[in-house]
Amino acid sequence: MRPSNRHSKDTMGRTSLSLGLIFALLLAASLLADALVRQRRRRSAAGVWLHMWIVLAVAGLVQAVSGNPMVSALVALGLVAMLALVSNAKNAMLGEPLLFSDLALLAAVFRHPQFYLSALQTWQLAALVAGAAGLLALLAWQFVAAILPHLAGLAVLVAALLMIRISLMLPPWRGLALVPDARADLARHGLLASLLLYWWRWRASENPPACTTALEGPTSAELLVVVQCESFADPAELFGDPALALPGLAAARGTAWQHGRLLVSGFGAYTNRTEYGVIFGRDENVLGFRRYDPFLTALGEASHALPARLGRAGWRSLFVHPHDLGFYSRDLIMPAAGFAELLGPERFCMPTKGEHRYVTDAAIADVIMDRARNAAGPTFIHAVTIENHGPWPADSNGHRSTAYLRLVAKGDAMLARLIEEMAALRKPAILLFYGDHRPSIAGLVDPGGDRDTPYVLLRFGADGALIPGDGTPRDLSPAQLHHLLAQTITI
C-alpha cells in the first residue's frame, strides 16, 4: 500500500507541475499577444493582474468542457490572439479599439457579415476562419472522458472568477478607468483588462429619471421630417476639391434655418451613436460608459426620446429604415421611444441580384412623401437610409472615390427632392437632414482626421416658402441637434 500511495503522490505532483508549466507558458504567450495590440506601451501591473486571471478563467472554462489542459491553453491563447487581431483591424479602419460593447454584436456578425468582415484584410479573415476551425477540431479530437480533469478545469474557472470579483472591489482596481477614455485605458491596462473594466463600469450605470414633459410650448409645425443619411459627408471637404461640392447641399445651406457641422463621435461606423443622440437628446458626457453603444440601454431612457415627447403633445411618429429592424434592437427600442409605426424592409421592394446592394434613397423618399401627403394630423417621420453603406471598391482605373461619389450624390438628390416636394405641401413643416458619420475609405478618408458631417435644418411656412435663418454655421453634437429641433418646432 505504501509504494502505491507514494506512486500516486508522485503522479499527482508531476501532473500539478505540468499543469503549472502549461498555464505559466499560456500566461507568458498571452501577454506577448496583448503587447501587439495598438496602442502599444508598457501595461500597468493592475492591468496585467486582471489579464492573467481572465486568461485563466477562459482556460478553466475550456478545460471544464474538454478535460484537456493543453487544449484549453491553446484555445485561451487563440482567443487572446483573435481579439488582438480584431482590435488592430478595427483601429486601423475606424480609429477605435475593440470595445466591450462590440462583443454584444457577435450575433449580428453572423446575421450581417458584410458590415463587419469588410474591416478585415484577406489574410486576417483567412487566419480567423482557419484558427476557429482548427480550435474546434482540436477540441473534438483531444476530448478527455475522465471526469477529474473536467472538475479541475471547473475549479480553475471558479477560482479565477472569484479573484477577478474580489480584485474589482479593492484598490487599485476599484479606482481604474472611472472616466471613459478607451484608447488611453487600453494602452495603460491592456485589451482584456480594459474590456472587463469598461463592462464593469457600464454595468454599474443607472437610467436617468423619467421624462414626463412634452415640449416647452405649443408646436408651430404640422410636419417634421428627419433623415439620417448613411455616410453622408461633403466630398469637397473629404477629398479637398471644391469642384466636388454637392449642389443640393449647397442650395440647402443657402436657405436653411440653421446649418453647420455635426460633431459625431464615430468614424466609418456607429450609426447608432448619432441616431441615439438626435432621437434621445442625451449627450455623451452624461452617458458615461453607455456612450459606446447607447442602444444597449436605450429602453431605460425611452421617455426622453423626441417621439415620446411629441406623442404627449398629440403627434404621431413613424420610423423608416429599410433594413433588419432587429439590428441594434430597433424593433424594440423605437416603439418604446414613441414611434407608433415602424416601416421596415417589408415595406420596400428589395434589390435583386445585379441591382443596388441596398434599398435606394429614392425609394425611401417615395415612402416619406407618401406618408407626408396623407398625414391626418401632426406627424413626425424619422428615416435612416442605407444606400451609401460601404465598402466602396475601386473602379477599373483604380480610383477609390468613384463609388462613394456616385452614392453620396444619391443622398444629395434625395435632399433636393424632399425640399421641393415638402414646399409643395404648403403647410408649416421642418426638414432636418444630416450624415451619420464619414466614410472609411482606406488611403483617402482615414480615421485620424476630422469626423464631422454636415447638417441642414429647414423651415417651411404655411405657404410652402422656406424661412431662412441668419446664415451663420453652427457646430452641434447630435444631442444638441435634438434640442435645436425641439426648440424649432415650438417657434
160 and 54 within one domain: yes
Residues 327 and 463 in one domain: yes
User: Do residues 170 and 246 both lie within one domain?
Assistant: no
Q: What are φ and ψ of residue 179, in 5° steps?
A: -120, 130
Q: What is the pLDDT along the chain (491 residues), one digit of tens a residue?
A: 444 555 444 444 455 556 678 888 999 999 999 999 987 778 999 999 999 999 999 999 999 999 988 889 988 998 999 899 999 989 999 999 999 999 887 766 656 565 555 555 676 667 767 777 777 777 777 778 889 999 999 999 999 999 999 999 999 999 999 999 999 999 999 999 999 999 999 999 999 999 998 888 888 999 999 999 999 999 999 999 999 999 999 999 999 999 999 999 999 999 999 999 999 999 999 999 999 999 999 999 999 999 999 999 999 999 999 999 998 999 999 999 999 999 999 999 888 766 678 999 999 999 999 999 999 999 999 999 999 998 898 888 888 899 999 999 999 999 999 999 999 999 999 999 999 999 999 889 989 889 999 999 999 999 999 999 999 999 999 999 999 999 999 98
**Would you tell me the crossing angle of helices 191-204 and 69-94 to the nearest 10 degrees?**
80
Do the bridges between strand 316-320 and strand 379-384 make them parallel or antiparallel, or are there none, so unpaired? parallel
Query: 397 and 331: one domain?
Result: yes
Domain closes at, from 145, 169, 204: 204
What residues form DSSP beta bridges with 466?
A: 460
Q: Cβ–Cβ contacts within 10 Å for residue 155, how many?
A: 13
234 and 90 in one domain? no
Respond yes or no on whether the N-terminal peptide bond of residue 258 is cis (omega within 30° of 0). Answer: no
Question: Is there a domain that residue 132 lies in?
Answer: yes
Q: Is residue 217 part of a domain?
A: no
Residues 6+ apart with CB under 8 A from 357: 351, 389
Looking at the structure, tell me whether residues 262 and 381 fall in a common domain: yes
Where is the domain boundary, 156, 176, 204?
204
Is 338 part of any domain? yes
213 occurs within a structural domain:
no
CB 263 within 8 A of CB 273: no
Whether residue 211 lies inside any domain: the answer is no
- In eight-state DSSP terms, residue 341 is E
Residues 174 and 322 in one domain: no
DSSP string, 147-190: HHHHHHHHHHHHHHHHHHHHHHHSTTGGGSS-S--HHHHHHHH-
Here the CATH number for the domain that contains residue 472 is 3.40.720.10
- Both 200 and 233 in one domain: the answer is no
Domain assignment of residue 456, yes or no = yes
Domain hosting residue 320, numbered range: 223-489
pTM of the model: 0.90
Are the beta carbons of 389 and 231 closer than 8 angstroms?
yes
> Are 241 and 380 in the same domain?
yes
209 lies in some domain: no
- Answer with the one of 138, 172, 204 that is the final residue of a domain: 204
Same domain? 135 vs 265: no
210 in any annotated domain: no
Same-domain check for residues 290 and 323 = yes
Statement to judge: residues 17 and 149 lie in one domain: yes
The CA distance from 400 to 391, in Å, is 10
Domain count across the chain: 2
